[in-house]
Amino acid sequence: MHLYAATFLWISCLLPSQVDLLNNGLARTPPMGWLAWERFRCDIDCKDDPDNCISEKLFRTMGDLLVKEGYKDVGYEYVNIDDCWLTHSRNAKNQLEADPTRFPSGIKNLSSYIHNLGLKLGIYEDFGTKTCAGYPGILFQMDTDAQTFADWGVDMLKLDGCNVPTELMPYGYPEMGRALNRTNRPIMYSCSWPAYLAGGPKLPDYQAIAQSCNLWRNYDDIQDSWDSLKGIIDFYGDDKGNFSMFAGPGAWNDPDMLIIGNYGLSYDQQRVQMAMWAIMASPLLMGNDLRHIAPESKAILQNKNVIAINQDPMGKMGKRVIKNNDIQVWTRPVMPTGSYAFTIVNYGVYGTPAKLNYKLSDMGISGSKSYLITEVFDGSKIGVHTTSDVVTYSVNPTGVFMGKAVPQ
């Protein structure tokens, strides 16, 4: 049978249960952890590059470092495999298998190792006939593959969207969520569904996506550059389709990995990413090499004050409230009740910090007569100000000021 005919026959079988929701009780705050793709891509050459190839050795090492270097202590808990872990064909039982040369102990043993560290294991697959790198996809095999992941002790699934018509995504992605639920193992579910619709003629159905996925990629892959980071921030600021309103406990917009500690960002630009991922209530999934990371980058990633904003239990995604040439201001309601986190981002490249004057009311901060303003990264107090006071903020070129306003 032709693929399209078989696929649409399969869809007709899914329609009666389409209203089921994911409801797995997971991701009550944005997930935190480490993901292989940005730094290690699809390096499968373990003969000539044994320390960097996609292998069980790499994931054990990163798990060890999450614990040893203090990342686990501040909330990073997932060790996530991306593409290229598979063999190129299914086994005789039609099941997925890890490459036996690069994963000689198997995924189940790897998950046990990660679990013994007090961490969780994530894995990658694709909704289509093949993954983006050409390995077997899950189309028509959802229950089989979901049960395989559960039997292996997997804690999170990232489901990509290569090699499948986008018209099938509103049916297939929810079905995979139901298949994961049917295993009775709690598996966090990350969808790439809206990312494959970005820039198309029709906006994604974010309500359906939020009901079907714990987190979802909705824009291009991040690259190791300031331009890439700015593009993502601008996409989120534009908020087409009002996707910010669908974020909250159990369901998160995912702007992609943290590239802090890699090659492409300056110190100030790394602070921008950490602050913006916190203000946007984004998953904090590092895409770096934890063996080789500068102390200042590590300090940004482990900043407890910024992480607390990201993990705020209200789960409200921040929104851009001011855009003026190179300057953007974002705010986000946070705890304690009536408080706000805010960021002032300077895209400018002039050789001196920008001196910016704002009232709290300009930022949409209201509800109390006065607020204590603190700088989030170092916790320093700016002072108590009314909503009509003009406060001057100094923001470095391609840098950020991140503040918190608590009612007094």
Q: pLDDT by residue for the chain (408 residues), tens digit each?
A: 455 555 655 565 555 444 467 999 999 999 999 999 999 999 999 999 999 999 999 999 999 999 999 999 999 999 999 999 999 999 999 999 999 999 999 999 999 999 999 999 999 999 999 999 999 999 999 999 999 999 999 999 999 999 999 999 999 999 999 999 999 999 999 999 999 998 888 899 999 999 999 999 999 999 999 999 999 999 999 999 999 999 999 999 999 999 999 999 999 999 999 999 999 999 999 999 999 999 999 999 999 999 999 999 999 999 999 999 999 999 999 999 999 999 999 999 999 999 999 999 999 999 999 999 999 999 999 999 999 999 999 999 999 999 999 999
The set of catalytic residues is 160, 221
Number of domains composing the chain: 2
Q: Do 184 and 152 touch, CB atoms closer than 8 A?
A: no
Check whether residue 232 and residue 346 sit in a common domain: no
Using the 3D structure, point to which of 278, 311, 344 is the last residue of a domain.
Answer: 311
Check whether residue 301 and residue 206 sit in a common domain: yes
Cis status of the peptide bond prior to 336, with omega within 30 of 0: yes
Q: Is residue 232 a part of any domain in this protein?
A: yes
Check whether residue 271 and residue 344 sit in a common domain: no
Q: Is residue 20 a part of any domain in this protein?
A: no
Check whether residue 214 and residue 325 sit in a common domain: no
CA nearest to 214, candidates 401, 359, 26, 76 = 26
Check whether residue 299 and residue 386 sit in a common domain: no
Q: Is residue 14 a part of any domain in this protein?
A: no
In this prediction, residue 19 carries a pLDDT of 46
Q: Is residue 219 a part of any domain in this protein?
A: yes
CB-based burial of residue 229 (10 Å sphere; 0-12 exposed, 13-18 middle, 19+ buried)? buried
Q: Is residue 9 a part of any domain in this protein?
A: no
310-336 CB burial, b ≥16 within 10 A, e <16 = bbbeebbbbbbeeeeeebbbbbbbbee
Q: Which residue has the tokens 């994961």?
A: 180
Check whether residue 305 and residue 349 sit in a common domain: no
Check whether residue 262 and residue 384 sit in a common domain: no
CATH number, residue 203: 3.20.20.70
In this prediction, residue 281 carries a pLDDT of 98
Alpha-carbon gap, residue 199 to 193, rounded angstroms = 13
Using the 3D structure, point to which of 311, 345, 369 is the last residue of a domain.
Answer: 311
CA nearest to 32, candidates 295, 341, 237, 278 = 278
Check whether residue 307 and residue 333 sit in a common domain: no
CATH number, residue 376: 2.60.40.1180
Q: Is residue 258 a part of any domain in this protein?
A: yes
Residue 392's domain comprises 319-407
Check whether residue 388 and residue 297 sit in a common domain: no
Check whether residue 329 and residue 300 sit in a common domain: no
Alpha-carbon gap, residue 52 to 257, rounded angstroms = 18
Check whether residue 200 and residue 298 sit in a common domain: yes
The model carries a pTM of 0.96
Using the 3D structure, point to which of 295, 311, 327 is the last residue of a domain.
Answer: 311
| 360 residue type, one letter | L
| 304 residue type, one letter | K
Q: Is residue 225 a part of any domain in this protein?
A: yes
Check whether residue 161 and residue 89 sit in a common domain: yes
Q: Which DSSP symbol is given to 54?
A: S
Q: Is residue 1 a part of any domain in this protein?
A: no
